[in-house]
Structure formats: C-alpha cells, structure tokens
C-alpha cells in the first residue's frame, strides 16, 4: 500500500507587531485568565527559550520519518513547527538532523507531544524544542506510512489549527487564533505591569489585601 501524505496550503507568518508584543508576554500571565489553549501534558523545553510564531501543523504517525521533512520544506522564517504524534508512542521524530534542517529554514521553534532525541545536537543547533522527554527510538525515512500537513491537530491538551499564534516559554506552550492572541497579549502586558507593583508591595512585608493599584494617566 502506497503511503499517502496530505498537504494543505500554509498560512502566512504572524504580523511583526504581534510577535513583538508576544516577546514580552509570559505564558503564565495568560494562565491567570485563560483555561484553553495550553499544550500541557508535561511538554517542556529542552533548554530555556521563549519564542512566538505561526503554527505549521503536522500529524505524524508511527515511525514515518518523511512527514516531518516534508513539513520543513514548507517552513518560512519565524514559523513554529507543531507536531502531533498521532499514535502517542515513545518514538522521537525530532533529532539533530531535523534541528539542522529546520534551523536552515529559519524555524522559530518546534513543539512535539512526544519525545525528541539527540539532545546535545539540538542544543548545539540552538533550535528551541518543547517535547515530552527523550527517546533513543526514532523515526526513519524508510518507514513511509503517511501523514498530514497544515491540518487541525491535537498537540498535547490543545487543539491547534494551521496558522494559529503560538507562544512558548519556560513555563509552557500556549496557542490561540491570531485575533484572540492579540487581545490576550494586550491584557497580559497590562497585568504584568501591575504584577511588578504587587511584587514590590509584597517584598516590603505588606499584605496583599492592602495593595491598591495606582490609576494610570
């Protein structure tokens, strides 16, 4: 049986102004007000990083190593590769080779609801990767099962549509449609300004219940 690879037209990159705002936003700030959109599921960064970009989605089943490289061929600078491991197995589909190829295309980061491999090579390449642990078992381009690109996927606990805005930092990964992410980014920046004042208030030994936010002009 011939492997079938489904590919849908990709979405444009995120606007520069949205990326600029997101570069100052913490996922944990959004977590104060939003309950959907967090990838979760113990998906953690390989090394400390913060990125924002448009999701290029991948549904990658089994040991097929072809589908991820097909996705890399579609990458535009600033994209974030979001990979759903359809079979929820312990097989790594991202390692040193994928990191090198993705870096050459200008990828902002990679998010996988499965393990990675070749951790030292990923770190050396400087490609931010969020994943669920590490595995010595890997995909192989000889195993051609099939897969899909730029389709709605489930990555961890979140639904991710092609072109969704992705924000990933040391606390987690959050995804939302672009309009919603823009609204959340604005409110998150305002909340973070308030948090600075709250931290100063608490550090002085005063009660949180005594805090009063000064009005802004």
| Amino acid 202: pLDDT | 72
CA–CA gap between residue 75 and residue 89 (Å, rounded): 25
Binding-site members for substrate are: 95-98
| Amino acid 79: pLDDT | 97
User: Which pTM does this prediction carry?
Assistant: 0.89
Segment of 69-73, 139-143, 202-206 carrying the highest mean pLDDT: 69-73
pLDDT at residue 199 above 60? Answer: yes
Binding-site members for Mg(2+) are: 118
| Amino acid 203: pLDDT | 79
| Amino acid 9: pLDDT | 87
CA–CA gap between residue 53 and residue 43 (Å, rounded): 18
Chain-wide mean pLDDT for the chain?
91
CA–CA gap between residue 119 and residue 94 (Å, rounded): 10
| Amino acid 7: pLDDT | 87
Binding-site members are: 95-98, 118
Among 88, 111, 82, 93, CA closest to 10: 82
Residue 76 phi/psi, 5° resolution?
-115, 155
Average pLDDT over residues 190-213: 74
Q: How confident is the model at residue 213 (pLDDT cuts 50, 70, 90)?
A: low
Q: For the chain, give the percent of residues with pLDDT over 90.
A: 75
Torsion of CA 38, 39, 40, 41, to 10 degrees: 150
CATH class, domain 5-210, is: alpha beta
Q: How many residues make up the chain in this entry?
A: 217
Going from N- to C-terminal start, the domains of the chain cover: 5-210
Q: How confident is the model at residue 215 (pLDDT cuts 50, 70, 90)?
A: very low
Q: How confident is the model at residue 217 (pLDDT cuts 50, 70, 90)?
A: very low
């Amino acid at each position: 049986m011939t492997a079938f690879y489904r590919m849908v037209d990709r979405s444009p990159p995120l606007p520069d102004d949205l990326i600029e705002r997101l570069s100052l936003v913490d996922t944990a700030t959004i977590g104060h007000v939003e309950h959907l959109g967090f990838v979760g599921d113990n998906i953690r960064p390989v090394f400390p990083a913060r990125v924002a970009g448009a999701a290029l989605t991948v549904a990658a089943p089994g040991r097929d190593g072809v589908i991820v490289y097909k996705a890399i061929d579609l990458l535009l600078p600033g994209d974030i590769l979001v990979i759903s491991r359809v079979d929820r197995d312990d097989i790594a589909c991202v390692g040193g080779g994928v990191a090198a190829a993705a870096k050459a295309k200008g990828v902002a980061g990679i998010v996988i609801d499965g393990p990675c491999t070749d951790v030292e090579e990923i770190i050396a390449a400087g490609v931010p990767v969020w994943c669920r642990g590490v595995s010595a078992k890997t995909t192989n381009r000889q195993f051609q099962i099939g897969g899909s690109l730029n389709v709605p996927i489930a990555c961890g606990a979140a639904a991710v549509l092609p072109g969704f805005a992705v924000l990933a930092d040391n606390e987690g990964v959050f995804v939302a449609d672009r309009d919603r992410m823009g609204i959340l980014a604005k409110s998150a920046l305002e909340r973070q300004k308030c948090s600075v004042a709250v931290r100063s208030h608490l550090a002085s030994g005063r009660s949180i219940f005594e805090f009063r936010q000064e009005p802004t002009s």
